[in-house]
Structure 1
Amino acid sequence: MDRPVVVVTGASSGVGRAVALAFARRGGQVVLAARSAHVLDEVARECAGAHRAAHALAVPADVTDEAAVDALAQAAFAWGGRIDVWVNAAGVGILGAVDRTPPQEVRRLLDVNVMGVVHGARAALAVMCRQDSGVLIDVSSLLGPVIGAPYMSAYAMSKAALVTFDDILRQELALAGARGVAVCSVLPAAVDTPFFRHAANHTGREVRAVPPPATPERVARAVVRTARRPRRRVVVGPSARLLTWGHALAPGLVRAVVTRVTEHRCLAPRGTAPDTSGILSAPSASTAALRGGWAAGRRTALRRAALLAAAAAAGALGARSTGRAPFVGRRTRRTRLRP
């Protein structure tokens, strides 16, 4: 991982953009792929200026085009001499009930979210298996492999497919003796990106981010850690971990809560949004951005402050009732005395 050569698809916006910048800030040699050529050039300049050792190469490509993805891998190898990390972050979304979602749009989503990953994996592994080293990271989602939500059947189906694909790919690599190649699935929950503005919407309702959203930088840090220390599945963020634990303990309750939150907090009243196909077929272009404007960083800071205040209050109440020092303080002092 010394100045790694990293390929990132979906690098023009959201999580893909955050991942590219995160590797560049650590001196990575980043190859950027997306459909919006002029936006990629902008991201390449940001990456090149993020660290004195960082370099960036923009390669416009549509991940649904197998030949274009193969050309992306060839360009990355010719430029960097190897491919250390390949991050499949390109993805699109659809919101709408099953009977209101056009089948051709579902087909297009699966072509991007699933076949795009298949094309990326095949192109990356062709290089990594020759090197006998490399990390393939697929950005999936908690939605699909772990939990479900109404009006997002196509998206959830595609993300569940990625986890299954990665599981089987690991088995095949083990049988082939490619022990230097790792395959990892990263599973965030809601993230503060332009995803909801870019998604096709057939609900007739304005969409808000699922609370509380994580920052794309948090997901990017998880991807970088996974590249350094590969793990099969990485759940990102406290909200995602809480949902995972809750679903394991009480799946029916979690499904009911997610359904209610989606219906009443994530969607405005009917008639507040027109039908749109989003960026399913058109590049994000001028709407590409790192964040979606949901103030995730501020909300995260407020949640942490609230948790700390609650813990302090609970400790103070406990001290008053028992006449002893708060548990948190006593625990901290004991921890510091350990060798």
Structure 2
Amino acid sequence: MRIKNSVVVITGAASGIGRATALRFARRRTNLVLASRRVEALETLVAECTALGSRAIAVPTDTSEYDAVQELASRAVEEFGRIDVWVNNAAVSFFSPFLEVPLRDFERVIDVNVMGYVYGARAALERMQDQGSGVLVNVASIVGEIPQPYTSAYSMSKAAVRALGVSLRSELKLDRKKHIHVCTVLPPTIDTPFFNHAANYTGRRAVAMPPVYSADRVAKAILDVVEVPTREVAVGRIGRSMVRQHRLMPARLEKVMAVQVENSHLSKKEPAEDSTGNLYGPSLDPANAAVTGGWSGKRRTAQRMVLGTALVGAGAVVFGDKLKGALPVVAGAAGTVGQAVKAASKGS
């Protein structure tokens, strides 16, 4: 679809992927409706987007509340007359062993990450049905394909977001709504403040697990699927390789993921006190109202290339062995992936 002058709603816009996406759209002279719980962060973002040539408004919104999301959609239509693009992006998480996380926190992640997307999809698609066109973009995650330890609710929620996308696309096809599209974007680890304000009950500080990509890489992917609607897109070479490998050898990739999370997603040097993070209220740290989280997403190209080469190589071996039935070599391929993960994790 045509980007310039379109009306774009973005949830979770105050920081990270949402903020990067807003700035990308602003450079294309769109009309932006920016939603988040952080009022001051939204106001500064509106100023940045306006300076780039966009028209933008801020609508403070808690996406776990249905009425608030409906009000967000109504404000977009009142201000700009329509909704061309809706980006469901707001999400929260915790790091905790499954048996130790408070159930209240587990439910909160599901409320925001699943029901928040449901509310957003309802609000967007209702308006898009009336106008006959539009693009709904759901930001999921690679962990929706390969779940992680210690993030059970987040992994569940992102798998649910992928399922929601498939179901909605099927209904639109049956209803012959050719000009309404639902696209799902799967980012890998992204350099955002997300890890700084997640709830945590592990006793260890959560850090960005390599390989780390920039938030702008995801923002570009979102613009790409809006311009040329695509059912589902994994961001980055590593992300795409991991999805392919998991479908070829799920047990091996799940083991690699578990080991990598244990070794490089939770610090072995820096402790962390139990905290609910930003589950029930926005972070008050001004540093967390930014695109980046200080994880050097643009400077880890070498690590990405090492891991990517191993994953692609493992995939070629696995594919060939599936044809030959040579299972011992498959194990060797998985070992190659594991070695690359370990190498990429050093120094992070």
Partner of 1:160: 159
2:170 is paired with a residue of what secondary structure? Answer: helix
Partner of 1:326: none
2:185 is paired with a residue of what secondary structure? Answer: strand
Alpha-carbon shift at residue 174 of structure 1 (Å)? 2.4
Partner of 1:325: none
2:37 is paired with a residue of what secondary structure? Answer: coil
> What whole-Å deviation, never above 9, does each CA across 1:266-316 have from its counterpart, x for those lacking one?
2123881111101000112423221110011022377569999xxxxxxxx
2:86 is paired with a residue of what secondary structure? Answer: strand
- Among 2, 5, 10, which residue is 1:3 paired with? 5
Distance 1:242 1:140 in 2: 17
1:178 is paired with a residue of what secondary structure? Answer: coil
- Among 38, 41, 45, which residue is 1:39 paired with? 41
Partner of 1:319: none
The amino acid across from 1:81 in the alignment is: G
What are the within-5 Å matches in structure 2 for residues 58-137 of structure 1? Answer: 58-137=58-137
Q: Which moved more, 1:113-122 or 1:246-255?
A: 246-255
Partner of 1:291: 292
> Contact 2:211/2:304 (CA < 8 Å) preserved in 1?
no
Partner of 1:334: none
The amino acid across from 2:88 in the alignment is: N
Distance 2:150 2:189 in 1: 15
Aligned residues: 305
The amino acid across from 1:215 in the alignment is: S
Partner of 1:243: 242
Distance 1:174 1:57 in 2: 33
> Contact 1:37/1:60 (CA < 8 Å) preserved in 2?
yes
Distance 1:98 1:90 in 2: 23
> Cα 1:260–1:270, aligned 2, differ >3 Å: closer, same or farther?
same
Partner of 1:280: 279
1:300 and 2:304 matched: no
1:297 is paired with a residue of what secondary structure? Answer: coil
The amino acid across from 1:79 in the alignment is: E
The amino acid across from 1:10 in the alignment is: G
Partner of 1:263: 262
> Cα 1:273–1:23, aligned 2, differ >3 Å: closer, same or farther?
same
Alpha-carbon shift at residue 249 of structure 1 (Å)? 2.3
Alpha-carbon shift at residue 210 of structure 1 (Å)? 1.1
The amino acid across from 2:293 in the alignment is: G
Alpha-carbon shift at residue 222 of structure 1 (Å)? 0.1
Alpha-carbon shift at residue 175 of structure 1 (Å)? 2.7
Distance 1:47 1:65 in 2: 26
The amino acid across from 2:58 in the alignment is: A
The amino acid across from 1:255 in the alignment is: E
Distance 1:88 1:10 in 2: 8
> Contact 1:95/1:203 (CA < 8 Å) preserved in 2?
yes
Distance 2:255 2:179 in 1: 42
> Contact 2:31/2:80 (CA < 8 Å) preserved in 1?
yes
Distance 1:192 1:137 in 2: 20
> Contact 2:147/2:156 (CA < 8 Å) preserved in 1?
no
> Contact 2:95/2:151 (CA < 8 Å) preserved in 1?
yes
The amino acid across from 2:193 in the alignment is: P
Partner of 2:330: none
The amino acid across from 1:139 in the alignment is: V
1:90 is paired with a residue of what secondary structure? Answer: coil
> Contact 2:201/2:275 (CA < 8 Å) preserved in 1?
yes
Distance 2:34 2:44 in 1: 11
The amino acid across from 1:290 in the alignment is: V
1:246 is paired with a residue of what secondary structure? Answer: helix
> Contact 2:139/2:185 (CA < 8 Å) preserved in 1?
yes
RMSD, aligned CA: 1.9
Structure number with larger C-alpha Rg:
1
> Contact 1:204/1:270 (CA < 8 Å) preserved in 2?
no
Q: Which moved more, 1:296-305 or 1:71-80?
A: 296-305
> What whole-Å deviation, never above 9, does each CA across 1:136-176 have from its counterpart, x for those lacking one?
000000102x1121111110000000111111111222233
> What whole-Å deviation, never above 9, does each CA across 1:25-45 have from its counterpart, x for those lacking one?
111111100011111000111
Alpha-carbon shift at residue 123 of structure 1 (Å)? 0.7
Alpha-carbon shift at residue 5 of structure 1 (Å)? 0.6
> What whole-Å deviation, never above 9, does each CA across 1:119-147 have from its counterpart, x for those lacking one?
11111111101111000000000102x11
Specify every segment of 5 or more residues in structure 2 that has no aligned partner in the other structure, as ranges.
310-348
1:91 is paired with a residue of what secondary structure? Answer: coil
- Among 23, 32, 40, which residue is 1:21 paired with? 23
> What whole-Å deviation, never above 9, does each CA across 1:228-267 have from its counterpart, x for those lacking one?
0011101101110121122122222211111111111221
Distance 2:305 2:202 in 1: 34
Specify every segment of 5 or more residues in structure 1 that has no aligned partner in the other structure, as ranges.
309-339
1:143 is paired with a residue of what secondary structure? Answer: helix
**Alignment TM-score, normalising by the size of structure 1:** 0.86
> Cα 1:108–1:249, aligned 2, differ >3 Å: closer, same or farther?
same
> Contact 2:238/2:307 (CA < 8 Å) preserved in 1?
no
Distance 1:241 1:8 in 2: 25
**Alignment TM-score, normalising by the size of structure 2:** 0.84
